[in-house]
Structure 1
């Protein structure tokens, strides 16, 4: 439960408690009817100053005095919460969170991204660009709502190191988790927890320190990424092999003339294309894409496969081409 809902629930509880105390007090001390006691409770709580139903006894005046003092803080708190909901758009925020929670519960096979720092932001952008279902988990609510692009994401507000937060993000039905927190210990804890909740989960974790890599792998991470090391290597390669890096940037969508790499598993091919060789598929002439690699369970990755290589069960074909040619490939072959 986030802060807005907690504050609203607290205000309702305090308001209900105050009304009950007022009703019981006026009925018991002044022997009022329920209707008269309710009227007296409301005008006392709201401090509007209407006349009493009947003149109060000495005990009644004493009770009313303490009741007014008791309600001053409650009234101020309730008014502040209601004002926040109405004039600062919190009611709309809570409604969106409610709708988002319902959508999250329906999701299956999605990806969970923990943390919306520099790495988490990039991960979300890439997943969104490739139309992958994902849920962003972030503790800092102010950070989220300061970013315009977050409005397009499914968000769970909470601490990813807590079991209930991961469960709220649908960890049991997720296919993968990316944890990008700057604290290596937190990433280890999230990895351990996530793997316990979903043993089949693919986990990609960030690490800042080299010694954290082994700990994350032992905790259950599938891959560990060290952004600082990757960034330094990339910078050096720009000097050593500038054209290779430029070509790789084209493949990753960072260049000006964007190319794409795509993986196509055996199961998505139409029946008439399964078991066919690269030559028989003739993908380049038909669609314009190039088969750059294969991955089969026995031999692993095969770069630049021969024309006689066949697509068999368990294989993954890796293709490269423009977005248009890849769409054409998918339409024709899958």
Structure 2
């Protein structure tokens, strides 16, 4: 209720000032016309009489005598008193509003100064609200820049969450806050140009700041990267990937297997043979439910041969891969997409002839139980 009241006062005060000026001009015109025709004064004296009567000065040099003159003078004086009270009230209201804004702004800056560290979030729209929930869930301090006050009506501020209704592209405050105490700047507005200006504003004075920016158009990736963004994220691209994976689920297989690094190429020959795509690989550390994931997204045999040659030419890479396989007891899962379910079934049958298949479409929890048994067996 307090926010709504403040919002109404802020909007209405400007309207009242404009209306006040119009009413003063109308009353002044009324006073001049009435003085000229009712009081019988010339134009200069009419202006003079209208002003002193409206201001309730009343020098007495012109005194109304008839009833119509007295009625005119009374209405002009009452109108002047009412307008003076009105204008004074508007000025006082605006002063109180400005003092309130100054006081709230000072309190917010004090709260930010008291934070040991914080994240800066630019934009509290559809994506920004999701980012805020994730940060808040992890009990992080957050400073939000959002110029649209309507988006912030339901936001509840606290000592760890401060919102500043400022335009980050026009206010240098964001550059000052993106210093040593700032863990990261997250830019989540939907406008790439706005994001670019914010990145430039911050990077100009904070070369070490870690900046993560949202980007909507593919052609703007390089621009934001050159401007100084450390990481770029496209919700549109991520959303498209999720839509594809959901649509491919009837033809998507998670195959948990156990084999050595030397058998990688033989395995990939089978995957390529059936025109399937190796989407990614999950490496299952014994006893840990969440796996290490690695994106692959390849279906061409040339990619498999190229990787095999790379391992042969780089002993360190081969040694690192063997250490990884050793740490997971050679157990890992392949996410494989194919043209249809029958093709995937044929692929599994052929793979069973050359490697150990632990299971199909197992959950991380089920695989963690299997890896625990591997540890106990050792």
TM-score (norm 1): 0.50
TM-score (norm 2): 0.45
Which of structures 1 and 2 has the larger relative contact order (alpha carbons within 8 angstroms, sep 6+)?
Answer: 2
From the CA coordinates, give the structure whose radius of gyration is larger: 2
